[in-house]
Chains A and B, each alone.
Chain A
């Protein structure tokens, strides 16, 4: 059973960089045809796809965030990470990591429990 777990600071100051890590267990991040994703959700609002990493290391980002965003992989730790720079209060949200599987039409079949990030001074 694949499990994902987000980790990182819960509070980030405006203009600084938000950094989160997703640790994958129960399977290798390099096994199979999967995309590894970040998704966020402001309190009481909808879901916003942030970006994705393929096992080759290639990335695609949400155009609205692309200029501030980096998603990368750490092969030795079976983890992938998110860095979002120059944050503002609008970046306050629950951040989820999730796996997308091609088997069922690139749906998000496994999710982390989420980590709340607040941008505030």
Chain B
């Protein structure tokens, strides 16, 4: 099973600042199958990024994804008040199973 480790656990930033979130895999992951989700309190997760770097429908361009192999990054260019949330990375592998990272909370400083 591929394990995804996200860092940091919590990121304390102010609106307007840039956020950089990391997702590291225990073995190489196909970029095609690496995604990022945003979750706000009391809500289901929402797809942000698929294929490591493609934005899902309706996602603002301040969200960007990058990376390959075992290291992936989600960047939020300038934090808006609505961006303070928990972010999860997710991978799908050849055994037809999915795993998630443990999440990074982006909180207001």
Interface residues of A (CB under 8 A from B): 37, 45-49, 52, 60, 62-63, 96, 98, 100, 104-109, 111-114
Contact = CB atoms under 8 A, between A and B. Distances in A.
Contacts, number: 65
A114 B88 contact: no
Given A46-B101, A108-B47, 10 more contacts: A37-B98, A47-B100, A104-B47, A104-B56, A105-B35, A106-B33, A107-B50, A108-B90, A109-B56, A112-B44
Contacts of B100: 46-49
A112 B1 CA distance: 26
Interface bracket on B: 20 to 34
A46 B4 CA distance: 11
B51 A96 contact: no
Interface of B: 1, 32-35, 37, 43-47, 50-51, 54, 56, 88, 90, 92, 95-103
Contacts of B97: 49, 60, 62-63
Contacts of B32: 105
B45 A108 contact: yes
A47 B88 contact: yes
A109 B47 contact: yes
Contacts of A100: 92, 98
A48 B92 CA distance: 13
Contacts of A47: 45, 88, 90, 100, 103
